[in-house]
């Protein structure tokens, strides 16, 4: 979906996978999200129109995708307007958009 620049389809797939995984671990982490605050923010982002909502591994980092910087700012504003207890940091970040770089170093030990 990303190759076709279809963010809604990509986001729907990411959210579906996240909900499936979160549901599997819900008994251990107390819900689909490991943090009630992250869950509340995820719900707020969904209501604001963000896509691809989920959490990193066991959390507590949540994430969502926005189609533009303006949309991301709108989503952050929506989150900040909700009643969220302290201790949450909301950031707008972007992908590196370059492939992985692999390098190796070889050391020759003298006398071995």
User: How confident is the model over 56-101, as pLDDT tens digits?
Assistant: 887 788 899 999 999 999 999 999 888 666 778 889 998 888 888 8
Query: Is the predicted pLDDT of residue 23 greater than 70, yes or no?
Result: yes
Distance CA(48)–CA(77), nearest Å, equals 10
- For range 27-45, the mean pLDDT: 89
What is the pLDDT confidence band of residue 47, given thresholds at 50, 70 and 90? very high
In the chain, which ranges are continuous DSSP H helix? 7-29, 36-48, 69-81
Query: Is the predicted pLDDT of residue 19 greater than 90, yes or no?
Result: yes
Two structure tokens written together for 103: 């390098």
pTM comes to 0.77
Q: What is the mean pLDDT of the chain?
A: 88
Q: Where are the domains of the chain?
A: 7-81
């Amino acid at each position: 979906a990303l190759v076709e620049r279809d963010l809604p389809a990509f986001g729907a797939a990411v959210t579906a996978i996240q909900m499936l995984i979160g549901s599997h671990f819900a008994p251990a982490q107390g819900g689909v999200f490991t943090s009630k605050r992250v869950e509340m923010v995820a719900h707020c982002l969904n209501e604001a129109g963000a896509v691809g909502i989920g959490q990193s591994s066991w959390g507590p980092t949540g994430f969502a995708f926005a189609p533009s910087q303006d949309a991301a700012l709108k989503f952050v504003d929506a989150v900040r307007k909700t009643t969220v207890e302290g201790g949450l940091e909301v950031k707008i970040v972007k992908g590196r958009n370059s492939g992985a770089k692999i390098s190796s170093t070889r050391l020759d030990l003298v006398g071995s």
